[in-house]
Structure 1
Amino acid sequence: MNERLKQLRKELNMKQGDFATALSISQGHLSDIENNRKEVSDRVISICSLKFNVNEEWLRTGNGEMFNPMSEDEELDLYVGRISGGADEFKKNLIKTLCKLSEDEWDVLKKIISEMK
């Protein structure tokens, strides 16, 4: 289970310190888990399931998919939640700016992106 927690962190593209903060544990504690010096607690498993939509069965046993299936809206909510909880100001500002676009501005953005292809 410890290796799967590390695999999850890497899949989420999170640094150890940021992942530890998201799990409400210290970076040292996470390091101990990832290096098999400590066990993964039920609390950490529960946080992973709720915060990152992790399939608890996969985390405990390795069976099934890493993540639970989600609708597109749920997936977007999860992604925005990850960005807003992280330290990357560029990503936060980009999401905020996109949310403020008018329909006409979205049309311009679509045209710009289609021209880039």
Structure 2
Amino acid sequence: MGNRIKELRQALGLTQQEFADRIGVKRGAIANYEIGRNASDTAVALICREFGVSEYWLRTGEGEMFVQISRDKEIMRFVGDVMQGEDDNFRRRFLLALARLPEERWADIEAFARQITAESKKEEQG
């Protein structure tokens, strides 16, 4: 399991400290897990919940690393995370701006989203 925890952390682009902070443990605990010391059931549950990881994959190495969730659940999780954050942050202000957007402006937002998605794909390809 230690190798999979390290693989997950690296796939997420997190340091041991950042990973530890996200699940509420000390950095040393993550280092210990990665060198092969067993993670507790509680730590496994925290990792799976925080990062959307398949517990089966984490324990066995079989299957997909991440749990596949529906778009609706992904949106609900995002909004829930935003609402738990500080009162005045960009993500919350952005969601409020979207909520107040007049119906006729949604086409502009969609065009913008398509443009930045296309630009991102170009950068990845090239």
Q: 2:93 aligns with which of 69, 93, 96?
A: 96
- State the one-letter code of the partner of 2:29: H
CA pair 113-71 structure 1, distance change in 2 beyond 3 A: closer
Deviation at 1:16, TM superposition (A): 2.0
Structure 1: 4+ residue segments shifted above 4 A: 79-86, 113-117
Q: What's the RMSD between the two structures over aligned residues? A: 3.0
Higher mean C-alpha deviation, range 1-10 or range 46-55: 46-55
Alignment match, 1:12 = 12
CA pair 42-99 structure 1, distance change in 2 beyond 3 A: same
Determine if contact 2:2/2:35 at 8 Å carries over to the other structure.
yes
Establish whether residue 69 from structure 1 lines up as the match of residue 68 from structure 2. yes
CA pair 112-75 structure 1, distance change in 2 beyond 3 A: closer
Determine if contact 1:52/1:78 at 8 Å carries over to the other structure.
no
Deviation at 1:9, TM superposition (A): 1.7
CA pair 104-75 structure 1, distance change in 2 beyond 3 A: same
Query: What TM-score do the two structures reach when normalised by structure 2?
Result: 0.67
- State the one-letter code of the partner of 1:22: R
Query: What TM-score do the two structures reach when normalised by structure 1?
Result: 0.71
User: Which digits, 9 at most, give the CA deviation of each residue in 1:77-100, with x for residues without a partner?
Assistant: 4455667889xxxxx514631442
Deviation at 1:19, TM superposition (A): 1.3
User: Which digits, 9 at most, give the CA deviation of each residue in 1:50-108, with x for residues without a partner?
Assistant: 2222211110111111122211122234455667889xxxxx51463144220344332
Give unpaired runs (5+ residues) of structure 1: 87-91
Total equivalences in the alignment: 112
Alignment match, 1:89 = none
Q: 1:1-117, aligned counterparts within 5 Å?
A: 1-36=1-36, 38-79=37-78, 93-94=90-91, 96-101=93-98, 102=101, 103-114=103-114, 117=118
Q: Output the CA distance in 2 between the equivalents of 1:54 and 1:41.
A: 16
- State the one-letter code of the partner of 1:53: G
